Amino acid sequence: MGTDPLMNLHTHTIWSDGSFLPEDLVRRAYSGGLKHIAITDHFETRKVENPLRADRFPRYLRNIHAVRMMYEGRINVLAGVEIDTNPTRCDLKHLPFDLLNQLDVILFEYVSDPVNGGIGLEEMGDVRAKIDVPCGLCHWDMDRIFGKADPNELADQLRDLDLFVEVSTSQYYSREGRQLYEHGERFYRAFDGKVKLSIGTDTHRRLDEVVNITRGQEFVKKLGMTDQMVL
Ligand SMILES: [Zn+2]
């Protein structure tokens, strides 16, 4: 901790809508010098055609744990999922929390986002309380969602909910030539000392995307927050 945030905590595999096996992503991440990689397939959402479902969860976990063993001492392999917080697509109240608590990390997308219909931060409290592993908010467009709201108030809310926030380097999470995290810089600055960060690429179909973290690392370094990574 406190040196170089060499992590990618947001990737998809054939267990949901990605093109590669977990072992393919981990091999590429290791050869690219990453220290941590999380597999975070879409879980029980109608947003994608073939999400990871509870019945396949044990096999998913076994697959990732086997890859973790293979790479032990070389790269830290984490098992995670990404959860869609739009309640018309994902039944958030009845998630299998006993399964989810076997993971290492959980990402939530679209929280408080009116465009994508995610539940509000207040409602996230109920979900968060049932989970005892690290939880984060991914590719979050805080600039659009919160506008002129006080970044310090958001930071306090996130600290109280124990949620980290991703720095997403995916090309899909940019507009006007800048990444969403760059638009939301004032919020990240307010997170200093309160809210932890991750870097994620949201890799689906391009293997090299798994090591596309450099801009995110530079952003975290610029903010002086390398000691605040979630891992
Ligand atoms: Zn994703």
Q: Are 179 and 173 in contact (CB under 8 A)?
A: yes
In a domain, 1, yes or no: no
* Cα–Cα distance measured from residue 144 to residue 114, given in angstroms and rounded to the nearest whole number: 10
In a domain, 40, yes or no: yes
pTM of the complete model beyond 0.75: yes
Edge-first strand listing for the sheet containing 135-137: 7-8, 36-42, 76-84, 105-109, 135-137, 163-168, 197-200
Give me ligand 1 centre to Cα 10, in Å. Answer: 6
Give me ligand 1 centre to Cα 42, in Å. Answer: 7
In a domain, 2, yes or no: no
Number of structural domains in the chain: 1
Give me ligand 1 centre to Cα 176, in Å. Answer: 21
Give me ligand 1 centre to Cα 11, in Å. Answer: 6
Give me ligand 1 centre to Cα 81, in Å. Answer: 9
pLDDT tens for each residue of 124-168: 999 999 999 999 999 999 999 999 999 999 999 999 999 999 999
Give me ligand 1 centre to Cα 77, in Å. Answer: 17
Looking at residue 31, which CATH number applies to its domain? 3.20.20.140
- Domain span at 174: 7-228
At a CB cut-off of 8 Å and minimum separation 6, what does 172 contact?
A: 139, 202
pLDDT of 2 > 90? The answer is: no
Which pLDDT does position 4 carry in this prediction?
A: 80
Give me ligand 1 centre to Cα 19, in Å. Answer: 13
Give me ligand 1 centre to Cα 84, in Å. Answer: 9
Structure tokens at 180: 């969403």
